[in-house]
């Protein structure tokens, strides 16, 4: 039996990364919360769990051209979460990047107003730092 090869961030090579190009203000909001390698993925997973799917207004197009986007980042969120995000994006007929922009925009708007949610995010980030992303 051979062990699965792992990448530098602890994920197995079969896990496809989510490639994100976020607007500058959204990227800055994430950087304010993320302090250690791996925090970006944990923030995305936390946002996906804590955002009400029905409260997200989607732009009904595959291409969002009116946004100035930052350079692309690859984020490993685990195969299960990646599959769920991909399915959701297909259901809404938008790209994964566009879906994540909408989800993270709603999440950070809620995070600003909700101290309990901010505290919960901080606790989760501290508790899971250094651990691999669960699949």
CB-CB contact of 118 with 111 (8 Å): yes
Structure tokens at 47: 């946002």
Between residues 61 and 24, which one has the greater pLDDT? 24
Q: What is the DSSP code (8-state) at residue 130?
A: T
This prediction's pTM: 0.75
Q: What is the mean pLDDT of the chain?
A: 80
Strands (E) in 50-119, as ranges, are 73-75
Say what the pLDDT of residue 3 is: 47
Strand partners for 69: 23
CB-CB contact of 121 with 128 (8 Å): no
Rounded CA-CA distance 119/2 in Å is: 41
Q: What is the pLDDT of residues 52-63, one digit of tens each?
A: 888 887 765 445
pLDDT category at 118 given cuts 50, 70, 90 is very high
Say what the pLDDT of residue 115 is: 94
Identify the H or E element spanning 20: strand 18-20
Say what the pLDDT of residue 63 is: 52
């Amino acid at each position: 039996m051979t062990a699965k090869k792992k990448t530098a961030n602890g994920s197995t090579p079969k896990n496809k990364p989510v490639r994100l190009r976020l607007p500058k203000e959204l990227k800055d909001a994430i950087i304010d919360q993320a302090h250690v390698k791996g925090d970006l993925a944990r923030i995305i997973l936390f946002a996906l769990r804590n955002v009400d799917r029905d409260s997200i207004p989607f732009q009904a197009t595959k291409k969002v051209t009116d946004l100035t986007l930052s350079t692309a980042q690859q984020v490993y969120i685990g195969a299960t979460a990646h599959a769920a995000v991909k399915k959701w994006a297909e259901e809404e007929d938008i790209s994964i990047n566009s879906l994540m922009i909408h989800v993270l925009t709603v999440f950070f708007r809620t995070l600003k107003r909700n101290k309990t949610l901010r505290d919960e995010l901080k606790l989760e980030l501290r508790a899971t730092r250094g651990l691999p992303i669960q699949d």
